[in-house]
Amino acid sequence: MFRQYFCATILNLLDMKTLVIVVHPDMEGSVINKRWIQELNKHPNQYHVHQLHAVYPDEKIDVVAEQKLIEQYGKIVFQFPFYWFNCPPLLKKWLDNVLTYGWAYGSNSGYKISGKKIALAMSVGIDEDQYEPMGKYKYTLAELTRPFELTFEYVKADYRPFFAYYGIERNSSKQWIEKSIVPFMDFMDSL
């Protein structure tokens, strides 16, 4: 009886904690994503930061380990710089390798991500007004990230609205970066 209670308590604690999968090909050179990680690390009881490039510098993903990690959390955030109108290549590779048939989807899979809250937290180099129908890039960030929405809906996850902090290419001052912390943490806490 005690063992069942203990295991259920541990699972509930993990379910309350958010897994933050960080994908940045140059964390050493990062300004804003590195700062966000520093802030998340101040709250180890709330967030587990998992840096893919640090864990897999050779980009050889341990699929089973990643799937087991995902299964432990009810809330997952993918944090990355949005560039070339997309995510870093390692995140795409992670999605292709980890979200496998028979685990993430398929009639016999059990849909292991089903019901998990999943969101994106992105640093964006370009100003927000450039991502509008009349802006330079013609499409909103919501339109450009639609493949993520469809992917996570396909595996029956609870895809949540994303967080984006724009203009980092134009302004990477300490003040601009620090201004991102409160909205970033509010977003993380709202999941």
**Domain total of the chain:** 1
107 band by pLDDT with thresholds 50, 70 and 90: confident
Give pLDDT, residue 49. 98
Find the mean pLDDT for residues 34-42.
98
What CATH number does residue 179 fall under?
3.40.50.360
Question: What per-residue confidence (pLDDT) applies to 15?
Answer: 60
| Mean pLDDT along residues 97-123 | 95
Residue-averaged pLDDT of the chain: 93
Query: For the residues 54-76, what does the mean pLDDT come to?
Result: 98
- The alpha carbon of residue 15 and the mean position of all alpha carbons in its chain are separated, in whole angstroms, by 16
94 contacts 66 by C-beta, under 8 angstroms: yes
Q: What is the pLDDT at residue 108?
A: 85
Domain that holds residue 66: 2-190
The residue written with tokens 């997309």 in the block is 86
What is the pLDDT averaged over residues 113-120?
98
CA quadruple 46, 39, 149, 140: dihedral sign:
positive
In the predicted structure, residue 14 carries a pLDDT above the cut 70: no
Instruction: Give all strands (DSSP E) within 83-130, no chain letters.
Output: 117-124
What is the structure's pLDDT at 1?
Answer: 54
Query: pLDDT exceeding 90 applies to what percent of the chain?
Result: 87
Is the alpha carbon torsion for 13, 63, 21, 77 positive or negative?
A: negative
CA–CA distances in Å: residue 98 to residues 72, 126, 159, 187: 15, 30, 17, 25
Q: How confident is the model at residue 149 (pLDDT cuts 50, 70, 90)?
A: very high
**pLDDT beyond 50 at 8:** no
d(CA 96, CA 103) in angstroms, rounded, equals 12
One-letter amino acid at 137 equals Y
